[in-house]
Structure 1
């Protein structure tokens, strides 16, 4: 199992307690949503096997992978394996999910873009069957 003891850049933050994640994930907001910068940035840490639900962003999103190994998948496309240094640009309104692999922690910066267009629409969970077949 991959740990992140030597590769953590930012504090992992607080446990996310909403219903939009399977497994444990943590969030540390680095730049809050506001009207000055209009570019919220959060550090998201996923425990092994953790992932978020399918969702989409009205204004798009950018992921900067800072540690561990994870997945990113758009609806109808194969999952991409992500590692430290990878950058994912997600167009607005594209249904997708992201999270850790089964045996590794996964950390990324989540940058919300064009937030004036709206927020995140959370959808159904990524099923265990789907995830376990990756």
Structure 2
């Protein structure tokens, strides 16, 4: 599992500030915003997760989310499907209206670039009992 020093030393971007959306996450995460698309259709940010940190289930309405994994190891799951293990170089495309979550594995930092369009609807947390079984 990736350690913070490995992620920090191999990362392209700084970890950023404490995530201002932390009310929708379990554990500590950091956000570094990058320039939005020139037409304003999507935003771009780098999210860094401490080990075990994850976001709540959520849906992107009238949009999508693309994740480009840049470091560490994590999880991604769509409702009704098994969780997918993620590592540096993996990509995920979440289509409009799909309920999902993503975050770090228990013993690893995790970082991804998120390209996000539409309006997020934040839902229930991924509880510890469920997460601990992954």
TM-score normalised according to structure 2 size: 0.91
Higher strand share: 2
From 11, 19, 25, give the equivalent of 1:16. Answer: 19
Aligned-pair CA distance for 1:11: 1.1
Match of 1:79 in 2: 83
Q: Which runs of 5+ in 1 are unaligned?
A: none
Q: Which runs of 5+ in 2 are unaligned?
A: none
- Pairs within 5 Å for 1:63-74: 63-74=67-78
Contact 1:43 1:109 survives alignment (8 Å): yes
Higher helix share: 2
Contact 1:31 1:39 survives alignment (8 Å): no
From 37, 56, 59, give the equivalent of 1:56. Answer: 59
TM-score normalised according to structure 1 size: 0.91
Match of 1:27 in 2: 31
RMSD: 1.4
Supply the distance in 2 between the matched residues of 1:125 and 1:16 (Cα, whole angstroms): 16
